[in-house]
Amino acid sequence: MSLVSELPQGYQLSHLAEVDSTNEEARRMAAQHQTVPTWILADRQTAGRGRRGRVWESPTGNLMTTLYLPQAFDAVKAGQIAFVAGLALESTVRTLIGDGAAVSLKWPNDALVNGKKASGILLESAMRDNKLDWLAVGLGLNLVHHPADMPYPATDLQAEGAAQISNVQALTLLATTFDVFFKQWQSGGFETILRAWRQVAHGLGRPIVARLEKHQIEGIFHDIDEKGALMLKDANGATHIIDAGDIFFPDAE
């Protein structure tokens, strides 16, 4: 397997031995009006965050990175970039794992290996003039460690048979793959990304449980719509549009 040794043209690297959070570092770069798209890589995080305010465990050896994009986005386009990032993670994991494991994307954008979570994505930003002034695309990938006490199965790439790889090597592969999908999105729009996403979607057409803030809905994972929301069809045939929530697969072995 050949791994690239540098980032795609137009990006710079900020490699930190330790930081509170790579997303927080992106926020600081925005406050300083940094204008170059930057991949922020940390060997260790002391206050890593996941979705919905959860702690993201950040042991040395895993990939903890944020892409800082210093440009204005409307909220819809920012959400689309989460799917771009998800495809980049899935492709990166598939390359590192090889043919020996099943790799898929669990909505909204968790890369799964043999049905177990190996990554996470967290987008953060700040508003100005009714637009997102900048965007931080935080990505975590379990290369050699994974948490044990989770409400769903988790894993790391080495546990699933991948060769040992450094966080720098993993980042260069991820950054190159992201750039490919990002350019596809820029030229072909979100529909291009949705078509690719559906091809690697985990559990499409299968029973799911969507746990929302105050209740849960059971049904069939019918599709994702043109905005990236999950479409769940319940037992009565009604379709529910889910913008945010935790998805579980009751028939998972």
Domain ranges (residues) in the chain: 12-199, 207-248
- Could you check whether 12-199 and 207-248 share the same CATH topology? no
Q: Using an 8 Å Cβ cutoff, are 135 and 121 in contact?
A: no
Report pLDDT digits (tens) over 34-92.
Answer: 999 999 999 998 876 654 455 555 678 999 999 999 988 888 888 899 999 999 999 99
Q: DSSP labels for 138-166?
A: EEEE-SS---SS-SS-B--TGGGTPPP--
- Per CATH, domain 207-248 is 2.30.30.100: yes
Q: How far apart are CA 232 and CA 162, in angstroms?
A: 34
pLDDT of the residue at 57: 56
Report pLDDT digits (tens) over 91-142.
Answer: 999 999 988 789 999 998 999 999 999 999 999 988 766 678 899 999 999 9
CATH superfamily of 12-199: Bira Bifunctional Protein; Domain 2 (3.30.930.10)
- Answering whether pTM is above 0.95, one says no
